[in-house]
Structure 1
């Protein structure tokens, strides 16, 4: 693949596909709801037997009971879901909050984004993301890895330690007590899949653009039209042919994709004859058995 296909340039103004709520199946709905409330400042709404969590404007996470065991390795399904913050002030606010609560987390720099990784009570991995595509120029293969090149010309690994001193320069004292910022969103989802090529074809068929394709590492990235080229990511790191998460294990039940245009939604549905209607949504599974629902934004 040419380097220009891997770069962050030549982009549309905004994403044409965005995320609705991510539905999680957990062992204890109340315990996990408190996790999202205390660490992220999310508000909750009870809806039947489930709990909806998010900002004052938007539902981001829906919790369902039914799991009897935590996450186990060896399955296709959710690698992590990513909560995106609107700016570095809010990113610093959350980092301070996690630190004050002494919750284990891993601050990481990816050049095209800054990230904090942590697990929920069932071992479902969550990434807090600050998008920084303005720092990213391109990526190139080096042996069996990818080297990320910033706009400063420096070549870096895909992941390296986050500069905490630089992050905390944006911290506003007391902000860690604030509720979740209204512009907080589910900004990307990273999936373990069973077959890289079939999954690539499926997600490009939905309208995503292939931004990074690297079979030696069994990984691919997809954009949705905007500057940030990491909206869906896939890998086979749980094994080629890995079965989907079994019933009873904490997992993602499904996620929602919102299409800005009816033409985009219609094209995605037409590309998947197995999609079935459920209210305003079109329900389907990707080649690994991961469920998603397509709706008009």
Structure 2
């Protein structure tokens, strides 16, 4: 049964489990540029615009910490900035604070990579205008990994000073370590996502999206065939959110998933939840 997500589908809040809440809140405020929306002894909700929760941090007492690329689950959460100048300002403050980063020009976007104190991967990026994205003969988007234009990014920042994440920041995509590309491809296609970059399976990677975006979901098998699912008391990804534009579209998705029946979808505290083939929790909501 073929199903396609509404083109205005986006990703919503992501919840991460951390080993030390105070340390992580400090990192996400001072280094990444979030603001605190709500906070308790065990949990913090972080925002860019002071209204909408983008990231939730929850402390896991004595939580196990794993090195990157050794388990299934999160590869990185990608935080999308609205303008190139915003990424330039972010890069400027990374240099000033001597933060170790990676970077890449992916043609459709420019990205900076780093990890939080618990090795949760992060990508901070900006998209190039969609009208300039191109596709190869297979229909896949043209995406590359080349040297980022550091000088151009810094020039775009001008003399401005980093003031934290701009209000229009959002969760752009999520990239996951999975067990099997075909298994994950079939699951996300059943969820309604389209394959946007399928010609990189030879390097163990696949991208999917809704509405013609370059990717909302990235999956890879780089953790290896014997990679394990993290235990519940480990740090890492607790869940991510797929947001439909309205209740009608959400209802269509839920009815489709129930009809397909391969993966049970259930409602908890007013939120519909489904799990991917390796147990990654996905919350299905409206904007």
Which category of TM-score, normalised to the shorter sequence, fits these structures?
A: 0.7 to 0.9
Which of 114, 117, 121 is residue 113 of structure 2 equivalent to?
117
Alignment partner, residue 171 of structure 1: 157
Does 1:252 find its partner at 2:244?
no
Matches within 5 A, 1:139-288: 139=136, 158-176=144-162, 178-214=163-199, 215-226=201-212, 228-240=213-225, 242-270=227-255, 271-272=257-258, 273=261, 274-288=264-278
Alignment partner, residue 3 of structure 1: none
Does 1:108 find its partner at 2:104?
yes
Alignment partner, residue 41 of structure 1: 33
Structure 2 alignment gaps of length 5 or more: none
RMSD: 2.3
TM-score by length of structure 2 reads: 0.87
Does 1:29 find its partner at 2:21?
yes
Which of 70, 79, 82 is residue 65 of structure 2 equivalent to?
70
Q: Distance in 1 between matches of 2:189 and 2:100?
A: 35
Alignment partner, residue 46 of structure 2: 53
Matched residues, number: 271
- Is the CA contact 1:111–1:135 (under 8 Å) kept in the aligned structure 2? no
Greater Cα offset, 249-258 or 71-80: 71-80
Q: CA deviation at 1:217?
A: 2.2
TM-score by length of structure 1 reads: 0.84
Shift >6 Å, 4+ stretches: none
Greater Cα offset, 87-96 or 271-280: 271-280
* SS of residue matched to 2:66: coil
Q: Distance in 2 between matches of 1:140 and 1:101?
A: 43
Structure 1 alignment gaps of length 5 or more: 1-11, 142-146, 150-156
* SS of residue matched to 1:287: coil
Q: CA deviation at 1:128?
A: 0.5
Q: CA deviation at 1:113?
A: 0.7
Q: 1:186 to 1:198 in 2, by over 3 A?
A: same
* SS of residue matched to 1:292: strand
- Is the CA contact 1:84–1:129 (under 8 Å) kept in the aligned structure 2? yes
* SS of residue matched to 1:160: coil
1:62-93 CA deviation, whole Å, 9 max, x = no partner?
11111523233332101100010000111111
